[in-house]
Chains A and B, each alone.
Chain A
Amino acid sequence: MTVAPAPTPARPPPWRDVRVLRIAGQAAVLLAVGLLLAWLWSNLQTNTERLGIPAPTDFSYLDQPVGQSIAGSDLRPTQSRLDALQVGLVRTIQIAIVGIILTTILGIFLGIARLSSNWLVATFARLYVELFRNTPPLVVVIFIYLGMFINGGFLPPQGEAFEIPKLLAMDIRGISVLWVSFTGSPWPYLLILALGVGLGWFVSRWRGRAQDATGKPAYPVLSGFIVFLAVAIVGWLALGGPTEITAPSVGADGRIAGGNKLTPEYAALLVGLVLYTASHVAEITRGSIQAVARGQDEAAKALGLTPGQRLRKVILPQALRVAIPPMSNQYLNLTKNSSLAVAIAYVEMTRVTSDLVANGAPAFQAFLLLAFLYLLISLATALITNTINSRLAIPER
């Protein structure tokens, strides 16, 4: 047995030690970043002092009165800037939700149309997608607002309102649509509706089990829906009809009264966002349906399923899973794109902040707060998406 020569010592000098280098490397980067941030912060403090605006840590501006009102809301000028920001936040979320719903409907329809065997339908959808995907969303919104609504003659001037009787009336001050609103608090009826949903769900489950057990069709979805409808109607009657319909009407002087009025700003932003985002949703829908391998459809056919059954039980469930991540990404984009409101004076979160700053609020604090709110929304969306994704995930080995 030969003897190995004396081994070299196991303690390397620190400048060659991998472990030391790892820590030193991180420390160096942290130091550099820290120094940069410190320099920026000190500049901020110097400049705010010099300019006479509140120090970067001073958020007291939020308590001061906002000094103006917000079109379309109840905000009084004596309320605080924080209240104004809250109104803006609600507006952002509201337009996001409405936008998401409309976009989904339009986008899915277009996506399926893209795959239609009818050449005209497919071409129409394709032209739509190619048009809106390649147009910046701001261009769409501005074109609709300035080029169509305000200056383009799409909305007639006051006194010459365009009207579809009882349904729609519009002039340059806004678009009024037929609307259902609650007299008094909406909560009692909403509770009843929720009850109806729950009951309908149980009934459809029960009927579904009956169908599985006997093999005879028991129409679970239809039954559940009928139950829900019954509850909704009975509840409405029981509460004495808590809703009222307001219909727009054009008076003799040409003024519009009644209905739910959408300002041109809101309408332009909503329509622009929906038209733009729907083009992306259409592509996602199309892609996800095509992503489900043809073999799936063929296997389902071979098993004797009808086209409707194939679509509902085999294709769509798989397509849905593929589509959810990019779809939720588009929803988030739509929410972030609502900030385009600042360009056409629809007052949501971003416009509120921009207006506050224009009226003397400190820019750093105001925009920090705004960025923080958007980050919260992004985080919430990510969490919801991840939950849905993991719930729907098909187990793997």
Chain B
Amino acid sequence: MTGSIATNATAWAKENLFRNWRDAVLTVVFGLILAFLTIRVLSFVLGSDWEIQRVNMRNSLVGPEISGTDLWGPVIGIWLGAAAVGVLIGAMDRAQHVDDPGAMLDPLNPAHWPQLAARTLDRLWPLLALVAFSLLLTTSAAGLLVAIATLALGFLGRAVGMRLPLGSLRWAALAAGLAPLVAVLIIRYGFGIDWKDWGGFLLVAFAGAAGIALSFPLGILLALGRRSKLPAIKALSVAYIEFFRGVPLVVLLLIGSLVIGLFLPRSLIPSEAIRAVIIFTLFTAAYFAEVIRGGLQSLPAGQEEAAKALGLPGWRITTFIVMPQALRNVIPAIVGQSISLWKDTSLMFIIGLAEPLRLASAFTRQPEFRGQGLITLTLFFAGLIYWVVSFTMSRESQRLERKLGVGQR
């Protein structure tokens, strides 16, 4: 009834916006600010000529050097990634619903589709919005097909993950971790696309994924080394960790770009992009080490003692008893650090690699777009790419944290 809606609205406004005269002033001031900003942003987005981005969409995604049939490489990579993520989510869901498997949403059951759609929208709306916007802008039928296939593979993966036997969660996680590696290998060696031709979002996604994957084992070693009672090993670990945490990543990337070459025989010098990945790995490993060290410290000493008393040898104690528990405790922090690395991949701009910001700048130097002040637009889009992925990952991380806090054990 409109009457009660109106009264509810006024009641809400009274409580939240106009509680007293000071509140009212704040409401007016901030209302004006928000309105002003919203109008500015909307008029910018809607009023600008997006031709420059429409023409260069492929470049933004994979860089200017990949075209034609080679594009199948990144597409297959995305599909692999979507399937792996789907399997992981399905397996995680299964582990949450040990006793009530019927409560899970099943992609293979049409009755669940509305709910699934609603949930997916809720979780992924910024990403979906960006993809939809790009598709509308470029009116690319191929792009639409790829996007639909990606979604479908994601759901299929979830259906598979749900049906895996209990206890497969760690294998699913491992597979999800390996899928990006396989995708990278396919693109690099299956399609023969050299590292220097990788660009755009593909380059940044690769650098981020590789950095996270490679730095994880190194971080574990460093964390163990930091906690070691052997002074030499502890000193080395501390030195490493403090160095890579004290020097800014920008400086480290410059060192990687300009100095690493001096340390290696000419034949072994890796390409620019790989040098950046090496730096990301070494850098993130130090931060992972601190996170994992926190997890190790939070473990009661009795765990190791009980394992020793049973006669288990040292390395097995670490592998079966200490590490699984320590890592599980710090999953949120590890995800947080991974999101941080993802944002830091933008720094590849500084060493001249073709990541989205540099490409955005390059687009405005193309003959047909020169000198029109379009840089604001292209930078906006590039920034949007970074923001959407980071925001999505961050929200998922918060959900994960809540689940881990409440759930089993």
Contacts and interface: CB of A to CB of B under 8 A. Distances in A.
Interface of A: 22, 25-27, 29-30, 33, 40, 43-44, 46-48, 116-121, 123-124, 130-131, 133-139, 142-143, 146-148, 151-153, 336-337, 339-340, 342-343, 350, 353-354, 357, 363-364, 367, 370-371, 374-375, 377-379
Interface stretch (B68-76, B185-193, B385-393): B385-393
Contacts of B391: 130, 134
Contacts, number: 162
B171 interface: no
**Most central of B17, B27, B250, B344 by chain A CB within 10 Å:** B250
B369 interface: no
B376 A26 contact: no
B262 A135 contact: no
Interface string B219-247: 00000000000111100100000110111
Given A121-B26, A121-B30, A136 B346 contact: yes
Given A26-B231, A120-B30, A146 B375 contact: yes
Contacts of A120: 17, 26-27, 30-31, 34
Interface of B: 16-17, 19, 23, 26-27, 30-31, 33-34, 230-233, 236, 242-243, 245-251, 254-255, 258-259, 261-266, 343-344, 346-347, 349-350, 357, 361, 364, 373, 375-376, 379-380, 382-383, 386-387, 390-391, 394
A47 B17 contact: no
Given A26-B233, A43-B265, A336-B248, A363 B259 contact: yes
Contacts of A364: 259, 262
A124 to B, nearest CB: 5
A43 B263 contact: yes
Contact of A151 (B233, B254, B375): B375
Ranked nearest first, the 3 interchain pairs of A and B with the lowest CB-CB distance are A378-B246, A336-B248, A119-B16
A296 B338 CA distance: 36
Contacts of A378: 242, 245-246
B383 A143 contact: yes
A119 B17 contact: yes
Question: What does DSSP make chain B's interface, helix, strand, loop or mixed?
Answer: helix
A29 B251 contact: no
Nearest to A120: B30
B17 to A, nearest CB: 6
A29 B262 contact: no
Chain A interface, >50% SS class: helix
18 contacts: A47-B263, A47-B266, A120-B17, A120-B30, A123-B34, A124-B34, A135-B387, A136-B390, A138-B349, A138-B357, A146-B375, A147-B375, A342-B350, A363-B259, A363-B262, A367-B254, A371-B255, A374-B247
A357 B258 contact: yes
Contacts of A153: 373, 376
A148 B44 CA distance: 12
Given A121-B30, A133-B394, A374-B247, 9 more contacts: A44-B263, A134-B391, A135-B387, A139-B387, A143-B379, A148-B376, A336-B250, A363-B262, A378-B242
B246 to A, nearest CB: 4
Contact of B250 (A43, A143, A339): A339
Contacts of A30: 232, 236
Nearest to A376: B246
Contact of B232 (A26, A118, A151): A26
